[in-house]
Amino acid sequence: MVIDYFEPTTVSETVSLLAKYGDDASVIAGGQSLLVMMRQRLVSPKYLISLKKVGELNGVQEDASGNLSIGAATTHRDAFTSPVLRRGVPLLCQAASKVGSTAIRNLGTIGGNICHNELGADPPQALLALNAKAVCVGATGERTIPLEKFFTGYFETAMNPGEVLKMIEIPSPPPGTVGVYLKHALRAGDLAIVGVAVLLGLETPSKKCREIRIGLGGVASVPLRAYKAEQLLQGSVIGADVVNEAAYVAMSEVDPVSDTHGSADYRRKMVGVFLKRAIRQAADAASKPGSDV
Ligand SMILES: Cc1cc2nc3c(=O)[nH]c(=O)nc-3n(C[C@H](O)[C@H](O)[C@H](O)COP(=O)(O)OP(=O)(O)OC[C@H]3O[C@@H](n4cnc5c(N)ncnc54)[C@H](O)[C@@H]3O)c2cc1C
């Protein structure tokens, strides 16, 4: 089959091409997931619209208040090596650094990752814990979708046909918060059996939790926030009992499937194990003034 390949240079040109070719067209960013799907004949686009030359989709911007925007076509490597992101949202850098292998991080993009929405991807749960939003552009204009409403099911998102993800916006995290991302996979380079992202802020010296956000991945049809566990921790003095209880609550908030990497029961247990570890690490770091993980 012959595939026509386009290299637009603007978002509006990209959207026009998508409108023209409809369901026969697909945008391609790093190609790390799309080309696998094409090789497996799961999708067979007749028109490929590359995002490589769309300058607007690349790079990281920070405003005067520390709010960040990340172009959708920013690669995982560029994300985790970005000095701006390392300073502002080290939690996302940790997650991006755990994606697949060096080759995949060099080519795969943050935008492609969340649009593909594969079970066990790493950046989504970090972005959820950072209250990120997806900015999409279509023929009728631009709209912003909070990330917790963006993921709608396995390989599905709230984006409409013909829309392009332009960027991911991240509000400046509350001062003094610490981020920890932990990934549990059987082998290096695998998708996560469980991915846990924690953003934590403590009052000192009381260790009372003043900010807690928990993102979980690999353990339900969509990456999710563990709101009930967060509620339990918010305002509590962080110690072994409350952390154990929060881990137990988080295990009840997930709905994992069994597959060749692990049973549903195992994944649920690993949520508890890795959440406890992540909270402890974040709490240790947050207790040290001026430190960040
Ligand atoms: C062997 C292997 C191991 C991997 N391991 C991991 C891992 O451990 N953790 C992890 O998180 N990920 C992993 N991945 C996935 C990797 O992160 C991919 O980079 C990512 O899923 C897709 O990014 P991409 O830029 O390559 O997107 P592409 O493959 O180009 O596109 C993927 C999908 O998203 C759509 N798309 C892309 N960009 C946009 C946009 N801006 N707007 C609208 N639609 C868009 C495409 O049309 C396509 O449907 C792995 C992939 C492979 C092949």
Pocket flag, ligand 1, residue 33 (CB < 6 Å): yes
Those residues with Cβ within 8 angstroms of residue 39's Cβ, 6 or more apart along the chain or in another chain: none
Separation CA 36–CA 170 (nearest Å): 30
Q: Quote the pLDDT of residue 1.
A: 78
Q: How far is the CA of 201 from the centre of ligand 1 (A)?
A: 31
Ligand 1 atom with the shortest distance to the CA of 189 = 8
The CA–CA distances, whole Å, from 78 to 86, 109, 115, 163, 285 equal 11, 9, 18, 24, 25
Pocket flag, ligand 1, residue 165 (CB < 6 Å): yes
- Fold (CATH) for 55-170: 3.30.465
- Fold (CATH) for 178-287: Enolase-like; domain 1 (3.30.390)
Domain with CATH 3.30.43.10 in the chain: 4-50
Q: Quote the pLDDT of residue 197.
A: 98
Among protein residues, the one with the nearest Cα to ligand 1's atom 9 is 99
At 51, the amino acid letter reads L
Those residues with Cβ within 8 angstroms of residue 14's Cβ, 6 or more apart along the chain or in another chain: 8, 27, 49, 51, 54, 164
Q: Quote the pLDDT of residue 272.
A: 98
Q: Out of 3.30.465.10, 3.30.43.10, 3.30.830.10, 3.30.1490.20, which CATH number does the structure's domain 4-50 have? A: 3.30.43.10
CB 199 within 8 A of CB 213: yes
Q: Quote the pLDDT of residue 293.
A: 44
Q: How far is the CA of 91 from the centre of ligand 1 (A)?
A: 20
What is the pairing mode between strands 194-202 and 209-217? antiparallel
The CA–CA distances, whole Å, from 58 to 74, 144, 165 equal 5, 18, 12
Our mutation pick for probing the ligand 1 site, out of 47, 116, 166, 168, counting the most ligand atoms within 8 A of Cβ, is 116
Positions of the chain with pLDDT lower than 70, given as ranges: 289-293
Q: Quote the pLDDT of residue 287.
A: 85
The predicted model scores a pTM of: 0.96
